[in-house]
Structure formats: structure tokens, C-alpha cells
Amino acid sequence: MAAKKSNSMAILIFLFLLCHINFFVVESANKIRARHLCKTLMFYFHDIIYNGENAKNATSAIVGAPAWGNFTKLGGKNHFGDLVIFDDPITLDNNLHSTPVGRAQGFYFYDKKEIFTSWLGFSFVFNSTEHKGSINFAGADPLMNKTRDISVIGGTGDFFMTRGIATLMTDAFEGEVYFRLRVDIKLYECW
Ligand SMILES: *[C@@H]1O[C@H](CO)[C@@H](O)[C@H](O)[C@H]1NC(C)=O
Ligand SMILES: *[C@@H]1O[C@H](CO)[C@@H](O)[C@H](O)[C@H]1NC(C)=O
Ligand SMILES: *[C@@H]1O[C@H](CO)[C@@H](O)[C@H](O)[C@H]1NC(C)=O
Ligand SMILES: *[C@@H]1O[C@H](CO)[C@@H](O)[C@H](O)[C@H]1NC(C)=O
């Protein structure tokens, strides 16, 4: 009987220690995840959607549309199902005609019938004296929000292995042909 008691006591102590070890492991993992901003950047990019008449100036084109739509006009039902590919100039200020520092290249599609929202996957490809390399972005873009956060999922060159958050803001738009996005990039992993 006494042996049994000391056995269960030992098990209790063991469990107690186990809990504490777990606690310390979780604690130190949290410490490793501490966040430090390592770089901030701000750019604009300009999207001119092909509308059947602006082939010369267009920087993006509808390449996929549902049965009720077409490739020259974003469709009804909040553009649901439209897929657009773009190669947009990136500028340091909000002027479309400023010298570009790179290109924003990728796609967006509209993914909800009930509200106006899209999903973005693209890269900033830099080739200026200031920046060389690329930054890759992905995430949901709920367009009705004044600001939208998407993920910075990686990079190359000056932005090797980078990660962070990019805050998007629609800076201007003209009908459904031109819009300008402001991008505030906050990097938390820099190499
Ligand atoms: C193309 O852009 C130029 C300069 O912004 C503008 O003058 C011209 O009207 C545009 N052409 C078309 C077809 O949109
Ligand atoms: C595309 O659809 C719009 C209506 O959404 C229509 O006005 C336009 O004529 C269509 N264009 C073509 C090329 O079918
Ligand atoms: C980058 O810029 C340099 C110098 O202007 C040019 O020689 C090179 O072809 C450019 N590369 C790309 C990928 O645009
Ligand atoms: C939408 O905006 C609100 C406040 O402006 C913010 O808290 C929220 O995170 C945003 N949602 C997304 C998905 O970015």
C-alpha cells in the first residue's frame, strides 16, 4: 500500500514537471517569434485595364470571365469570376507618368458575388539603381475596406527571403479602367 502511494506521488511529480517543461518550451517559442520591423517601403502602382479601345496604354487584361461576362468589360455580380493579369508600372509618387522603378506583375480575380472583393498574387520586380530583385505578395483584398493587409511572402535580390505585411489603399480610380494603389510595405524579416 505504501509503495503504491509513493508510486502515484512520483507520477504526480512527473506530470507536474512535464507541465512546467511544456510551459517553458511555449514561452521560449514565443520569444523567438518576437516581431521587429526591419524595413519600411512605400510605392504606388497603376493599373489600366484593357477596355476594347486602349490596347496601346493598357497594362492589364481580363483573361478569364464567367459565362455571363466577356473580356472587354468587368462583369456584373461584383465582377465575380473575372480574372485579370497585369504588368503595371511602379512609381515613387502618385503620378502615372513618373519614371517607374519597377513593374508590379501578377493577377487578381474577383471571388465573391455578394460583395466587391478580390484576391491578389503578384511580384514587385525592381530594376532601378535603388532596388534590385523582387518582392512577392499574396492575399485577400476586400476592396470595400479603406486599407487592406496582404502578406509579403518572400523575395529575391535586395529582398532575399524577406517576409512582412503590405497595406494596400486605393489612391484613385477612374471608372473601371484606371486605378492606382498605394502600398505601404512593412518587412519583419530581412537578410
Ligand atoms: C494613352 O495615354 C496617353 C497619355 O496618357 C493619352 O493621351 C491617350 O489618350 C491614351 N490613349 C488611350 C487610347 O487611352
Ligand atoms: C461585353 O459586355 C458588356 C456588358 O457587360 C457589353 O456592353 C459589351 O458590348 C460586351 N463586349 C463584347 C465584345 O461582347
Ligand atoms: C535592368 O536594367 C539594366 C540597366 O538599365 C538593363 O541592362 C537590364 O536589361 C534590365 N533588366 C531587366 C530584367 O529589365
Ligand atoms: C478592414 O479594415 C479594418 C479597419 O479599418 C481592419 O481592422 C481590418 O483588419 C481590415 N480587414 C482586412 C481583411 O484587411
For ligand 4, is residue 149 a contact (CB within 6 Å)?
yes
Give the pLDDT of residue 127.
Answer: 85
If one residue of 72, 82, 177 were mutated to test the ligand 2 pocket, choosing by the most ligand atoms within 8 A of its CB, it would be 72
| Per-residue model confidence (pLDDT) at position 38 | 95
* Predicted pLDDT of residue 191: 86
Mean pLDDT for each 10-residue chunk of the chain (191 residues)?
60 55 53 79 97 96 96 94 98 96 97 96 93 97 96 97 97 93 97 86
- Bridge partners, 103 (sequence order): 89, 125
Query: What SS3 state is found at 4?
Result: helix
Place of cell 470595400: 144
Q: What is the pLDDT of residue 18?
A: 54
Of 134, 86, 82, give the one whose Cα is nearest residue 106. Answer: 86
User: For residue 176, what pLDDT is reported?
Assistant: 87
Q: Write the burial class of residue 98 (CB in 10 Å: 0-12 exposed, 13-18 middle, 19+ buried).
A: middle
56 lines ligand 1 (CB under 6 A): yes
Q: Write down the pLDDT at residue 96.
A: 96
* pLDDT for res 62: 97
CATH numbers and ranges of domains, the chain: 36-189 (2.40.480.10)
**Ligand in nearest proximity to the CA of 168:** 4
In this predicted structure, what is the pLDDT of residue 64?
Answer: 97
Q: What confidence score (pLDDT) does residue 16 get?
A: 55
Check if 148 has its Cβ closer than 6 Å to any atom of ligand 4.
yes
Selection from 98, 97, 93, 71 nearest residue 82 by Cα: 71
At 129 the pLDDT is: 84
